[in-house]
Amino acid sequence: MKAIVTVIGKDKPGIIAAVSGMLAGHNINIEDISQTVLQGNFTMIMLVSMDRSRLSITELSEATSALSHEVGVEIHVQNEEIFNAIHKI
């Protein structure tokens, strides 16, 4: 299964390392990534593959929620199919 992970917050060192490290620790592969800083605000969108992970999408959401509080950013996870359906015109 694939998921979309979004990260938004004030820019500071270590955001990418924390998020990518947590994903790697759960055998979640980042397949595509886009990130930028807009006037001091960090934004990142990732397409990740959960095929090798033992986590469910719900468990990943819980893990990213805990990380959100640690790092001080908002992290959201959505199943790719749901994300695509919501964003179809």
- The pLDDT tens digits for 29-55 are 999 999 999 999 999 999 999 999 999
State the residue range of the domain holding 48.
2-86
Mean pLDDT, the chain, rounded, equals: 93
pLDDT band at residue 2 using 50, 70 and 90 as cut-offs: very high
pLDDT number for residue 79: 87
> Tokens 């199943």 correspond to what residue?
79
Give the residue carrying structure tokens 């500071």: 12
Split into its structural domains, the chain has a count of 1
CATH number assigned to the domain comprising residue 41: 3.30.70.260
Q: How much of the chain exceeds pLDDT 70, in percent?
A: 91
Do 34 and 45 contact (CB within 8 A), yes or no? Answer: yes
In this structure, is the dihedral angle defined by the CA atoms of residues 46, 53, 74 and 84, taken in order, positive or negative? positive
Pairing of strands 29-38, 74-79: unpaired
User: Contact at 8 Å (CB) between 47 and 32?
Assistant: yes
